[in-house]
Structure 1
Amino acid sequence: MTCYRYPAISESEITPKALFDQRRKFLRQGIGLGAAAAFAPGMLFSPTAHAWSEVLSRRLDSDLPSEGMAGGESLTSFEDITTYNNFYELGTGKRDPEIYAHKLVTEPWALSIEGEVEKSGTVALEDVIKRYPLEERIYRLRCVEAWSMVIPWIGFPLAELLKHHGLTSRSKYVVFEAICDPNNLRGQRRSILDWPYQEALRIDEAMHPLTMMAVGLYGEAMPNQNGAPIRLVVPWKYGFKSIKSVVKIKVVEEKPTTSWQETNPEEYGFYANVNPEVDHPRWSQARERRIGEPGRRKTLMFNGYATEVAHLYADLDLQRDY
C-alpha cells in the first residue's frame, strides 16, 4: 500500500517512554487475568481474556511500524482519549463510556462479512488479527461537535480485509454495523437511534490507504470506551463515521442510509467530510477545540488530509453533499 508521510512528531511531544512502558505492563497484566472477577467501572478491558486478546497481546509485544500522519502535532494524552468520548451505546455523557465500559462484553468476538463479496462468512477476531500486519498510525480525530484529538491508533488497512474476501463487480458501498446488546448497553435501552448503529462508506473511501480497522491505541488493546475490540477509523471524516465495536461488514450495490442520517438528515449527511466552510446548523465548523489544549484552532479541510482524499470528491458539490 502507499504510505503518506508527514513530519514526524518530536520525542519531546510524546508520552515519556518510562511512563508509556509502565502503562503497557500494567494493562498487559490486565489482559492476562483470564477468568478473574469483573473489572470495576472505568477499567479498560472485558472481564475475561480469551483468544483474540491473547493473540493481540502477543502481537503488541513486538515493535510495530509507526506512521506519524498528523503533521507533527502533539498526541492527545491517553487519559483524555479514554475519558472524553461519544459512545451512545454506553450513554450520552462524555464520561458515560468510561464509567460503563465494563458492561461492553467483548469476549468472544467475530466479524460477519457478507453481501457483494466472493467469500462471505463469520470470522473470529483472533483470526483477523493474525492475518494482517499491525501498524501504528497517528491520526487527527475531528468530532462533528467541534472538538478534536490526535490519537496513535493500532490496526490494519480496511482494504486488506475487503480484498481478502473478494469484491464483486456490484460492490459500490460498504455498510458497518455495531454491536446490539441492550441487556448490557444502557444506551440501547433508549431510542436515541434506531439500533444497531450503522455507518457506511463508498467503496473508494473504504479502499483508500488511510482508512483502517483499529484494534488498539497507545500501544495497547482498544479500550472498551473507545470501541473495543475493533472499530473503523476514517481520519478525514467527522468522528461519528468511525463506527465502534463493529460486528458486521456488508458490501452492497445501492447507497444505504446511515443511522445519524436517518435520525437527523438536516444535521448529519452521508459523507460527513470535515469541512470548515460548511457549518453545522447549530454551530460553526471553522474552528475546533483540541482536547487538552487551551483556546481553539483553525479546522483543516478534510481534517488536514486534503492532499490524499480531495480527488475522491472532485465531482461533488461540497456545499451540498456534506
Structure 2
Amino acid sequence: MRTYRPGQIKPSEITNQDIWLKRRQLIKAGMAAGAGLLLGGASGLAAAVYAGPGKNQKIALLKESDYGAGMEPTRYKSITTYNNFYELGYGKRAPAENADALKTRPWSVKVSGECARPGVMDIEDIMKLDQEERIYRFRCVEAWSMVVPWVGIPLGSFLKRFEPGSKAKYVEFETLYDPERMPGQRREVIDWPYREGLRIDEAMHPLALLATGLYGEVLPGQNGAPLRLVVPWKYGFKSIKSIVSIRFTEEQPINTWNAIAGDEYGFFANVNPKVPHPRWSQRRHRVLGRGIFGSKEDTLLFNGYAEDVASLYSGMDLRKNF
C-alpha cells in the first residue's frame, strides 16, 4: 500500500456548496409546510434542497441525524475526486476518472451464513427500507481525513432482517469482482475480490452504516456505489465499497489488508493515535479541503467516538488488537 500524500486539489476547482450549507433553513421551511410536501419526492422539497452537488439522482425523504452535528462537511468535489478505490484505479484521482466503467444497475446483495433467513436483496429494495433516509456527518480518518454527509441505512437494522443466529460472531463483506466494470481488477495487485469483516457487536452498533448516498444524492462510483460500509470510528480501509455479499460467520473472516500486511493493518482497525503505523505516526492527520496540502489535526481515540464505542472493547489490549 502506497504512503498517502497531501491532496493536490486547487482551491479554484472546489464546487460551491452554498445551497447545501443553507439546508437547515430549507428543511425547516419544508416541515412547516406539512408532510404532504415531503411526500412529493425528488420533484418537491428534496430537489430544492439537494440540487447542486453533482449529477447523480437525488434521494428524497431525508432526515438529518444528530451524529456529527456541528461538523462542517468537506466540500463535495474534494470527497468525490480524492479517493482510495483500487478496483477503479490506483491514484487518488483515478477512481473518479474511471467511475463511468462501474455500472451499478442491476445490482443485488446476497446475505448468507449463520442466519435463519438468508436471501438476495435488490439495491432498489435496500434503498426503500427506510422511508426516511438519514444524513450522517462522519469524520473518516486515514493519513488524511474528511467529514462526509453520508446517506444510508443503519447496518444493524438491515442485518436483523436476516435473523442472525447464535453462531454469528462476525460479519463478512465482499466487493464485486468484475474486471469489465472494475478495470483496476485487471491487475493482480491484491487477491480479488476485496474482503472486510466486523465483529457482530460492531456491526450492530448504531454508528455502523450501509451508505447508499452522500450529500443527498446516490453514491458516485468512485465513492463505492451503490452500497458501501461506513464505520466512522475505524480507519478508512475498513469501509468496503460496492458490496455484493454479506455473510454471517462463526470464525473471524479474512480482511484484505490484514492478509496482505498483518503487521501494518489489523483486523479491528480502530483509530488510535497511540498505535503508530510502522511507516508513519498516527498521532496527527491531514484534513482534506483545507488549503492545497490540508491542515493537520490531532487524531482522537476512536476518531472522537470513544463515548459511543469504547465499551465494545472493554478489557481488550488496544495495542495488540489494533
Report the TM range for the smaller structure's normalisation: 0.7 to 0.9
- The equivalent residue for 1:215 is 212
One-letter amino acid of the counterpart of residue 123, structure 1: M
Q: Distance in 1 between matches of 2:211 and 2:287?
A: 22
Q: Distance in 1 between matches of 2:160 and 2:96?
A: 35
Query: Could you give the per-residue CA deviations for residues 29-54 of structure 1, whole angstroms, max 9, x where no partner exists?
Result: xx4xxxxxxxxxxxxxxxxxxxxxxx
- The equivalent residue for 1:137 is 136
- Which deviates the most, 126-135 or 105-114? 126-135
Alignment of 1:112-261 (within 5 A): 112-133=110-131, 134-143=133-142, 146-261=143-258
Q: Distance in 2 between matches of 1:305 and 1:266?
A: 25
- The equivalent residue for 2:260 is 263
Change over 3 Å in CA distance of 1:22–1:135 after alignment to 2: closer
1:96 aligns with 2:102: no
> Does the Cα contact within 8 Å between 1:198 and 1:243 map onto a contact in 2?
yes
- Normalized against structure 1, the TM-score is what? 0.82
- The equivalent residue for 1:23 is 52
Root mean square deviation, CA, Å: 2.0
Aligned match for 1:108, one of 84, 100, 106: 106
> Does the Cα contact within 8 Å between 2:50 and 2:217 map onto a contact in 1?
no
Shift in Å, 1:12: 8.8
> Does the Cα contact within 8 Å between 1:68 and 1:139 map onto a contact in 2?
no
Q: Distance in 2 between matches of 1:277 and 1:154?
A: 31
One-letter amino acid of the counterpart of residue 302, structure 2: F
Q: Distance in 2 between matches of 1:238 and 1:184?
A: 26
Change over 3 Å in CA distance of 1:14–1:306 after alignment to 2: farther
Shift in Å, 1:289: 0.3
> Does the Cα contact within 8 Å between 2:20 and 2:50 map onto a contact in 1?
no
> Does the Cα contact within 8 Å between 1:14 and 1:75 map onto a contact in 2?
no
Question: Gaps (5+ residues) in structure 1?
Answer: 1-10, 32-56
Question: Gaps (5+ residues) in structure 2?
Answer: 1-16, 27-47
- The equivalent residue for 2:33 is none
Aligned length: 279
One-letter amino acid of the counterpart of residue 208, structure 2: T
Shift in Å, 1:191: 1.7
Alignment of 1:300-319 (within 5 A): 300-319=300-319
Shift in Å, 1:225: 0.5
Aligned match for 1:281, one of 252, 264, 278: 278
Change over 3 Å in CA distance of 1:148–1:256 after alignment to 2: same
Q: Distance in 1 between matches of 2:250 and 2:50?
A: 46
- The equivalent residue for 1:42 is none
